[in-house]
Amino acid sequence: MATIDDVAKAAGVSTSTVSYVLSGKRPISGPTRARVEKAIRDLGYRPHAGARALASSRTNVIALVAPLRVAVNVNVIMEFVTGVVTAARNHNYDVLLLTQEDATGIDRVSSGSMVDAIIAMDIEEDDPRIPLLKAARQPAVLIGLPRDNAGLSCVDLDFFGAGAATIRHLAHLGHTRIGMLGAPTAVWQRHTSFWDRTLSGAHYEATSKGVTFTAIPCEASEVGAHQSVTELLRKAPDITGLVVHNEAALPHVVAALRDTGRAIPEDISVVAICPQHLATSQPQPLTSVTIPATAIGKVAVDMAMQRLSDPEQPAETRLLAAELTQRATTATLHSAAENTSGDTASIGLM
Amino acid sequence: MATIDDVAKAAGVSTSTVSYVLSGKRPISGPTRARVEKAIRDLGYRPHAGARALASSRTNVIALVAPLRVAVNVNVIMEFVTGVVTAARNHNYDVLLLTQEDATGIDRVSSGSMVDAIIAMDIEEDDPRIPLLKAARQPAVLIGLPRDNAGLSCVDLDFFGAGAATIRHLAHLGHTRIGMLGAPTAVWQRHTSFWDRTLSGAHYEATSKGVTFTAIPCEASEVGAHQSVTELLRKAPDITGLVVHNEAALPHVVAALRDTGRAIPEDISVVAICPQHLATSQPQPLTSVTIPATAIGKVAVDMAMQRLSDPEQPAETRLLAAELTQRATTATLHSAAENTSGDTASIGLM
DNA sequence: ATAGATTGTTGAACCGCTTCGATGATATCG
DNA sequence: CGATATCATCGAAGCGGTTCAACAATCTAT
């Protein structure tokens, strides 16, 4: 492997000149720069990452802490990861992948100076990683919103707004009895931050709009989806609107509703909170609030880069606005009443 | 950050002694070792990864090249990644994540000495990455089996054997008209290695067992699955056995078969090639050949480590034996005949 | 013509660790 | 008892870059 000295020799300049050509931190005359660049090309020279990291205290690597268990939401996670990796490359950064499960990971890569910044996803309200991230010498960006985020940058979809938007949309269409199928019980109990916030937003909007609102958990499997639909319809048999915030269960929920003889959107309107491709790839495109996973990943990287370039930069929290797109699965209660018994309509007036 | 010199000073020894305590490459007396270890603990010392890499030409990082596009088989990919990351940690290695799309990635991390080895997944017959991997100074391990694998280590499920096993199983149950739904057209055309081999194995076994065999592609979506099922039943209306090698389409295929009025396994036996959790999590557990993704990821890492510890170690190819597990979706043609018209049975005798 | 500023390049120190050869102290043997 | 082997530790030379102070050469203003 050619070293920087080999290049310098070949170009007839000092090693520092080569370094400055590479980094652009000092002006180099045209002819000199050309000679150096030729030598680099001829020798196929590539700076040694370790040497560079040692001398400059920059690794050009960021750590990404991701939940790699076979999770309910692999699709969403994958999209986050893709967004992060792609954005990182645009800043000339590579990504070191850590699993949530490897508790020592954060400390290891941080105090070992393996990375310049850390991005952690799937953050819970009281996430055990928070103290580690605060203690790290490198800036950290969380994808999610923990209870205590002092000194840490956070990005996420405005899930409170997302929850509210779904209710507002359904209420606007005339629905007054609304149900919600959410995360699996485990996520619910873990107080994963996104889920708590969706629920609050929905509750808040339901209260202020005066509509009844019933939310229950939903497992990710086909069987679980059927059970949850059954239970929800038992608890609140008169609902005409349903919010589903569970990517994995989505298709099964739709199927289960049909199995009960309910037509979508004639008998029941359905709005999802999920990545866009999931909403549009269904046989009947779903009205949905998009989870812009790729965009969030990109913002996370950008925030990390910002804090690297200006260490004085204070931590900030950025919540991306929720946008609801109406597709084929929601309709006004009025038009629904045309195709169904008067019961539903009268209930709507209660 | 404390350096090795700080530790040496605190322990009253030379820096090299500290280094040898850490690496164990030279014997150190009990008392000395104890003093050094105490100093390390007191100072919270962690070796600087860059410095270490520079001095030892070992980074303790491996690169993993993964297809991060939202692929049909996110679940499987995720499982490979998990297997690799977990296994890597057991060897005290971290994982740098590269995307397939970033063509420069392999060369960058290789010639920049960012990693000690490279693992590439989702290999095609004539994969454009092969020349890059051969040119790399670091050992490479492929998950998949390209046409030309000289000098490269490969691991994969024995997909030829898997394809053969599905046919053998169905033939053993008396089925003589067998259909197969495979990868999407794109994968088929790309000659992704696993799919070609499954097909060959199935064909080979079908020929030798004298059963008729019809395979067509299948897209990953619900709509695509329905279309493929319809087309297959048009081309080969008399099939009593079906092999599905397409994780994403699996549940939709099952649903589509039911929609045609066929009961599983009474009217048609179904065997899948997919990760185990997918087969068992269906409402009706599927007879399947397991894709042991986690295990393959682990083997890939182990092979890489082996070649690192002994550079003379020649490249080898390891194909994990395919194992078929019978569950609820396959039955003998005889018992099927009891519940169906004589037509099927007579065709079975042809 | 000369002091001062600007531009382009260099030499050398340093980043933090590994590893090899050397050294002194003990143990082993004929 | 002296010669030799063994054990534990040390000093110093890299590994391959970055960066700073300094210097030479050229340009501007007086």
Inform me whether the pLDDT recorded for A337 exceeds 70: no
Provide the CATH number for the domain formed by B4-47 in this structure. Answer: 1.10.260.40
pLDDT (tens, 9 = 90+) of chain B, 350 residues, equals: 899 999 999 999 999 999 999 999 999 999 999 999 999 999 999 999 999 999 999 999 999 999 887 666 788 899 999 999 999 999 999 999 999 988 899 999 999 999 999 999 989 889 999 999 999 999 999 999 999 988 899 999 999 999 999 999 999 999 999 999 999 998 888 888 889 999 999 999 999 999 999 999 999 888 899 999 999 999 999 999 999 999 888 989 999 999 999 999 999 999 999 999 889 988 899 999 999 999 999 999 999 999 999 988 899 999 999 999 999 999 998 654 444 443 333 333 33
Higher pLDDT, B43 or A72: B43
* Strand, helix or coil for residue B170: helix
Residues in B closer than 8 angstroms to A69, CB to CB, are 82
The C-alpha atoms of residue B142 and residue B153 are separated, in whole angstroms, by 6
Q: Is A67 in the B-facing interface, judged by CB distances under 8 Å? A: no
Judged by C1' against the alpha carbon of A25, the nearest nucleotide is: D19
Name the pLDDT band for A192 (thresholds 50, 70, 90).
Answer: confident
A201-205, A219-223, A322-326, B120-124: the lowest-pLDDT one? A219-223
The C-alpha atoms of residue A145 and residue A157 are separated, in whole angstroms, by 10
Show contacts of B226-234: CB within 8 Å, 24+ apart: B226/B252, B226/B256, B226/B259, B228/B181, B228/B253, B229/B181, B229/B253, B229/B256, B229/B257, B229/B260, B230/B256, B232/B179, B232/B181, B233/B179, B233/B260
- Classify A159-286+327-349 by CATH class: alpha beta
- Tell me which fold the domain A61-157+293-321 belongs to: Rossmann fold (3.40.50)
Q: Which amino acid is at B194?
A: F
pLDDT, average across residues A218-228: 90
Q: Which residue is nearest to nucleotide C20 (CA to C1')?
A: B16
Are the Cβ atoms of B82 and A99 closer than 8 angstroms? yes
- Please tell me whether any atom of strand D lies within 7 Å of the Cβ of A308: no
Q: Scanning every residue of chain B, which has its alpha carbon at the shortest distance from the alpha carbon of A105?
A: B94
pLDDT at B153 (0 to 100):
96
Name the pLDDT band for A70 (thresholds 50, 70, 90).
Answer: low
Evaluate whether B4-47 and B159-286+327-349 have a shared fold. Answer: no
Cis peptide before A47 (omega within 30 of 0): no
Q: Is A3 in the B-facing interface, judged by CB distances under 8 Å? A: no
Taking the CA of residue A199 and the nearest CA in chain B, the distance in Å comes to 28
pLDDT, average across residues A113-127: 94
pLDDT, average across residues A197-217: 96
In whole angstroms, C27 C1' to B18 CA is 26
Name the pLDDT band for A340 (thresholds 50, 70, 90).
Answer: very low
In B11-40, the residues whose Cβ lies within 8 Å of chain A are none
Mean pLDDT, rounded, of chain A: 91
- Spatial neighbors of A31 by CB under 8 A, at least 6 apart, are none
Taking the CA of residue B239 and the nearest CA in chain A, the distance in Å comes to 27
* Contact of A180 with A338, CB cutoff 8 Å: no
Q: Which DSSP helix (H) or strand (E) runs through A117?
A: strand A117-121
CA-atom Rg of chain A in angstroms: 26
Q: Where are the domains of chain A?
A: 4-47, 61-157+293-321, 159-286+327-349
Question: Which protein residues have a C-beta closer than 7 A to any atom of strand C?
Answer: A 12-17, 20, 26-29, 31-33, 51, 54-55; B 1, 3-5, 15-16, 19-20, 22-23, 25, 45-48, 51-52, 54-56
Judged by C1' against the alpha carbon of B20, the nearest nucleotide is: C18
**Torsional sign, CA A303, B51, B25, B33:** negative
Are the Cβ atoms of B251 and A222 closer than 8 angstroms? yes
Inform me whether the pLDDT recorded for A254 exceeds 90: yes
Give the strands of the sheet with B140-143, arranged side by side: A317-320, A153-157, A140-143, A117-121, A61-66, A94-99, B94-99, B61-66, B117-121, B140-143, B153-157, B317-320
The C-alpha atoms of residue B97 and residue B204 are separated, in whole angstroms, by 38
